[in-house]
Amino acid sequence: MTTSQQPQDRYKAVWLIFFMLGLGTLLPWNFFMTATQYFTNRLDQSQNVSSVTAELGGDVQLLATPIAPPPERNSLSAIFNNVMTLCAMLPLLLFTCLNSFLHQRIPQAVRILGSLVAILLVFLVTAVLVKVHLDDLSFFVITMIKIMLINSFGAILQGSLFGLAGLLPASYTAPIMSGQGLAGIFASVAMICAIASGSELSESAFGYFITACGVIVLTIVCYLGLPRLEFYRYYQQLKLEGSGEQETKLDLISKDPSTTCHPPGEEPRAGKEESGVSAPNSQPASKSHSIRAILKNIIVPALSVCFIFTITIGVFPAVTAEVKSSIAGGSAWEYYFIPVSCFLTFNVFDWLGRSLTAISMWPGKDSHWLPSLVLARLVFVPLLLLCNVHPRQYLPVVFEHDAWFIIFMATFAFSNGYLASLCMCFGPKKVKPAEAETAGAIMAFFLSLGLALGAVFSFLFRAIV
């Protein structure tokens, strides 16, 4: 194929499919994260209703309307946010790392479709367990196992997706990042609607998780339709032609009598050295050298995206979900404060930041402004720790009013979405087209490394409040 024959992305179909795949990548984690009030309320209230449950034969249902937590929180609910973040990010890091090394051994369709189906099954189990009564410890452990499974398969899906996008023009990484941002908005709105419905907890939570199942099914359908599009097939063919050219050159070299490799003993070693062709056992070294060369080219955006998510996950949601409204108790705003000011605000502005890269990609991929702006995000850690976080022991409350917290969350989220999207777009474009998929997988690994480091630091940040 020549450049003159390059097809167009008709009706932006490929762009929209990558948007849906990005949505499906982070939707599972966002649904679990946004539902923290459901999980912690169930843990908190289980002790309070245990005696009533025994008297009524176990047929008790909790109201969906949030209630003020008891003075002494259940120990499991008190550590839920931190443990949830850790159980999510460590498997994400591990499986992203495995995907970076195994993506060439396992077919792309198996990795992407297999992950989506596994995530769908976990959500179906979650929806069913909403209706099942479990004791505190069992509910806590099962929830953490589901979170680990969701993020393990999500890591494989995310790494495979960014590697796939690396084969297309740079603008096709943006819809993935934009879709991931919209996943948080979707989850936040779904939770707010569940609270506003006033339904029983079991009914609203069941519908909440079934909604996620429907979106995952739609994502699977979109991926199955991707190979049918000419625009996508064109760039897939470019990859195959690139590989074919390399293989043809190697064949020509091997057919040259002066460069033919013979079994040991049939040709002196000097003949091999003069030919300039490495011995077969040097191939693994050349592969590792290639990965090191790719990493050297993308080290700045890779470390930048790692630092971005270390700061973000370090305080969100482990610290930000513990901020209390400054408005007097008893109002409806108190019930909606965290879903709106924390999760919805973060996800809306994060999505706006990710989407802005489709219009503007400043600063450039080689500009020193990019790492400088990334480091500047460190200021959000003290700003958010000094908001009205409770319970607290050491730091004073400096920014008590709700408006301060919303402003900080908006700028915090916007910078996260915009800078992270820039880094993920620039990474695969700093290497040769044949190396773009590997570069995309490495970028996804550093993104996951930042998430895991943020999960670890979240314990420190919460402890010093």
Which amino acid is residue 97, in one-letter code? C
pLDDT, residue 386, reads: 95
313 Cβ partners below 8 Å, 6+ apart? 85, 89, 450, 451, 453, 454, 455, 457, 458
pLDDT, residue 148, reads: 93
Q: What does the pLDDT average to over 8-30?
A: 87
Q: Across all residues in the chain, what is the average pLDDT? A: 79
Lowest mean pLDDT segment, chosen from 245-249, 287-291, 309-313:
245-249
Q: Which residues on neighbouring strands pair with residue 63, listed in sequence order?
A: 200
Q: Give pLDDT tens digits for 293-334.
A: 888 888 999 999 999 999 999 999 889 988 999 886 667 788
Distances (CA, A) of 92 to 85, 150, 166, 192, 399: 11, 9, 20, 27, 34
Q: What are phi and psi of 408, to 5 degrees?
A: -60, -40
Q: Give the C-alpha separation, 402 to 388, whole Å.
A: 8
pLDDT, residue 306, reads: 94
pLDDT, residue 332, reads: 77
**258 CA to centre of own chain:** 51
pLDDT, residue 330, reads: 65
Q: Give pLDDT tens digits for 133-147.
A: 888 888 899 999 999
Count of C-beta atoms within a 10 Å radius of residue 238 = 16
Residue 286 pLDDT grade (very low, low, confident, very high; cuts 50, 70, 90): low
3-state helix, strand, coil in the chain (%, to 5): 75, 0, 20
Residue 42 pLDDT grade (very low, low, confident, very high; cuts 50, 70, 90): confident
Share of the chain above pLDDT 70, in %: 79
Residue 193 pLDDT grade (very low, low, confident, very high; cuts 50, 70, 90): confident
Cβ(29)–Cβ(447) below 8 Å: no
Lowest mean pLDDT segment, chosen from 57-71, 218-232, 349-363:
57-71
Q: What does the pLDDT average to over 208-224?
A: 90
Q: What does the pLDDT average to over 68-93?
A: 74
pLDDT, residue 200, reads: 65
String of b and e for 172-195 (b: at least 16 CB within 10 Å)?
Answer: bbbbbbbbbbbbbbbbbbbbbebb
Distances (CA, A) of 440 to 59, 164, 165: 51, 8, 8
Is 219's pLDDT higher than 60? yes
Question: Which has the higher per-residue pLDDT, 319 or 63?
Answer: 319
pLDDT, residue 50, reads: 47
Q: What does the pLDDT average to over 43-63?
A: 47
pLDDT, residue 73, reads: 54
Q: Give pLDDT tens digits for 446-458.
A: 887 898 899 889 9
State the DSSP H helix or E strand holding residue 420, giving kind and residue range, or none if neither: helix 402-429
pLDDT, residue 202, reads: 63
Is 273's pLDDT higher than 80? no
Q: Give pLDDT tens digits for 388-398.
A: 998 888 999 99
Is 189's pLDDT higher than 80? yes
Lowest mean pLDDT segment, chosen from 36-45, 60-69, 235-244:
60-69
pTM, full prediction: 0.70
The three-class DSSP label of residue 195 is: helix
Helical H segments across 8-35, by residue range: 13-34
DSSP single-letter state for residue 263: -
The beta strand positions in 332-404, using DSSP E, are none
Count of C-beta atoms within a 10 Å radius of residue 343 = 28
